[in-house]
Structure formats: structure tokens, C-alpha cells
Structure 1
Amino acid sequence: MNAQEIIRSIEAEQMKSNLPIIHVGDTVKVGVKIQEGNKERVQPYEGVVIAKHNGSINATITVRRIFQGVGVERVFLLHSPRIDNIKVIRRGKVRRAKLYYLRDRVGKATRVKQRFDREL
């Protein structure tokens, strides 16, 4: 068994299987585990996915939200143990892979059209 096979097997153990299908433009609510002293709580973080990087165990999403009038972006490692849950609140209809242009927009201009998927 060579080194690459060992690395792949360890990564396969760590990967989460219950992740929803996330697209760029979706509004998601991410539950992040926060350690405060000896207590642990789940802090929600809700925003629009503006970028997605696929890389098996290193897959990330960049979530942008407006907090007190200031744009805040966080990059979440999807398979991290710190991520408690990810819930897709609404689907976004976009035509680009990266929505970095939303950084320059303010107010209603930052809205993303909703995509309605047909149930099969």
C-alpha cells in the first residue's frame, strides 16, 4: 500500500456524507460550533454563497452576508468537524461560477433571483 492510497483512505473516513447540494448563489445557513470556556454552542451564520471550491476533503464555500452595514465573508471548510450543519434556505439563479461582483454592490442591488427547481 503506497502513501497516496493511505492518504485517500484517511480522507475518506473524515469526509461527511450528509451534506446538501450547494450551488453558487444559494442562501445557506451554516451552524458553526463555537467553544466558549468549557461550554460549546452552535452559532448560525446565514448568507449567500459567492464562491465554491471543490477539492474532495478540502472543499470550501465562501459565504457573504451584511452585518451592521458592513459586508462580511467567511470561508467554510465543508468537511470540517467545526461545521455542525448546513441548510440551504433558498436557491439562487446565477450565470457565473464566482459572484465577486456582489462585493461592489449595496442594498437591493445585492439580491440574487430565486431559482425554483421542479420536483422530479
Structure 2
Amino acid sequence: MNNIINYVEQQQKKNYQKFPLFRTGDTLEIYIWVVENTKKRIQIFEGIVISITKKKSFNCSFTIRKLSNGIGIERVFSLYSKIIHNIKIKKRGCVRKAKLYYLRNLIGKSARIKERLI
């Protein structure tokens, strides 16, 4: 049964767009399709990846956090979602943890992440 599910997921992955490989701590720009009445447009959501779940499966999701007017906004995206048009990596972060939930309590300079040199 499990092999059948994996086979179907692999077939579905082929139909989706390839996105760049990113890790926790990276700063991403995500281009999202937004539907308003009959109009469809692209909106950019930019922030830091604070967690990635089920990285190698079809159900992979990731959480992005950004500050907007001093208020923290977190949004969870499914990697293979139809609303994601494109993903761009703006900055690679150098972090030691897999989940950056500690950033929720930090504001300003203390919430910065060092850049990873490639």
C-alpha cells in the first residue's frame, strides 16, 4: 500500500515546477497568485524560512516569517501548491537549528541571521 502512495506522489511531482533548494534560515521571495473576484494577479511575500516539514515528500510545507509594520506575520505554504508561481532565494542564512521558532520573540537587530558564504 505504501509503495502505491509513493508511486502516485512521484508521478504528481513530475507535473509541478522545479523550485530552487532552500534551507531553514534562507530569505525567500515567493510569488503567489492572488484571485480577487475575476482578476488574477501575482503578489510577493518575502521573509525568512523558520521551518520545513516533510522535506522529501509530496506533502512538503514550509513556514515563512516577515515583519510588517512591527508585527510578525507567519505564513505556511505547501511546496507543490498551485498558488506558488515562483520562488527566488535572496539570501542564504547560516543557522544551526532546524526550526527557528526563537525568532518570534526577537525584534530588530537581534533577529538578524548571518549570511552563509558559498
What's the offset of the Cα at 1:82? Answer: 0.9
TM-score, normalised via structure 2 length: 0.90
Q: Is residue 95 of structure 1 aligned with residue 96 of structure 2?
A: yes
**How big is each residue's C-alpha offset from its partner over 1:13-54, in whole Å with a ceiling of 9 and x where there is no partner?**
332351111100000001111111111111100000000112
Q: What is the number of residues matched between the two proteins?
A: 115
Structure 1 runs of 4+ with >4 Å offset:
none
One-letter amino acid of the counterpart of residue 89, structure 1? K
Q: Is residue 78 of structure 1 aligned with residue 76 of structure 2?
A: no
User: Separation in 1 of the partners of 2:49 and 2:27?
Assistant: 6
Unaligned runs of 5+ in 2: none
User: Separation in 1 of the partners of 2:9 and 2:34?
Assistant: 24
Change over 3 Å in CA distance of 1:70–1:38 after alignment to 2: same
One-letter amino acid of the counterpart of residue 113, structure 1? K
User: Separation in 2 of the partners of 1:39 and 1:10?
Assistant: 33
Q: Is residue 30 of structure 1 aligned with residue 30 of structure 2?
A: yes
**How big is each residue's C-alpha offset from its partner over 1:50-90, in whole Å with a ceiling of 9 and x where there is no partner?**
00112511101100000111000000100011111111111
Counterpart secondary structure, 1:58: coil
- Alpha-carbon RMSD across the aligned residues, in angstroms, is 1.5
Structure 1 contact 14–79 (Cα < 8 Å) conserved: no
Counterpart secondary structure, 1:21: coil
User: Separation in 2 of the partners of 1:37 and 1:4?
Assistant: 41
TM-score, normalised via structure 1 length: 0.88
User: Separation in 1 of the partners of 2:70 and 2:59?
Assistant: 31
1:39-58 equivalent positions in 2, closer than 5 A: 39-53=39-53, 54-58=55-59
Unaligned runs of 5+ in 1: none
What is the percent sequence identity of the aligned residues? 41
User: Separation in 2 of the partners of 1:14 and 1:83?
Assistant: 16
User: Separation in 2 of the partners of 1:3 and 1:38?
Assistant: 41
Change over 3 Å in CA distance of 1:42–1:14 after alignment to 2: farther
User: Separation in 2 of the partners of 1:111 and 1:3?
Assistant: 42
Structure 1 contact 31–83 (Cα < 8 Å) conserved: yes
